[in-house]
Amino acid sequence: MEYKFINTDYLNSVSGDDAEVINEIVQIFKDQCIEIYNEMLSLNSSKDYLALGLLAHKVKSSVSIMGMNDLAVMLKTFELDAKNSVYPEKYGSYISRFKTETDLAIVELDDLVNTRLNKI
């Protein structure tokens, strides 16, 4: 499978190419994505834009670790917009993009993990 959303270089370096370590990192990422998406929806709904901006900042490092640099750039914009309560009409599209791209990345990460674990 060709990976379009993730870059495995960082995962390989921090895991020492250990498939089980990669699996653990991926599982944490998957769990975080679900929690963060739901929290983003809730914060946006309640118009708690400062907290939404802080959350975008927090998740930015997680997507960067997975090599999702374009999404990290978008999250930086989202962070700044939300912290300053500007362009709230864009927040829904930012959240939707986060969900779409992390879901696609998870498919790739699952493939990576399955491929690595099957080689053991």
Domain 15-118 coded CATH 1.20.120: yes
Lowest mean pLDDT among 4-13, 30-39, 84-93: 4-13
As given in the structure block, the two tokens for residue 94 are: 């930012």
To the nearest whole percent, how much of the chain has pLDDT over 70? 99
As given in the structure block, the two tokens for residue 45 are: 């709904």
What pLDDT digit, counting tens, does each position of 73-83 carry? 999 999 999 99
Q: What is the dihedral of CA 98, 38, 34, 73, to 10 degrees?
A: 20
Domain ranges of the chain: 15-118
What pLDDT digit, counting tens, does each position of 27-78 carry? 999 999 999 999 999 999 999 999 999 999 999 999 998 999 999 999 999 9
As given in the structure block, the two tokens for residue 116 are: 């690595």
To the nearest whole percent, how much of the chain has pLDDT over 90? 82
Question: pLDDT band for position 11 (50/70/90)?
Answer: confident
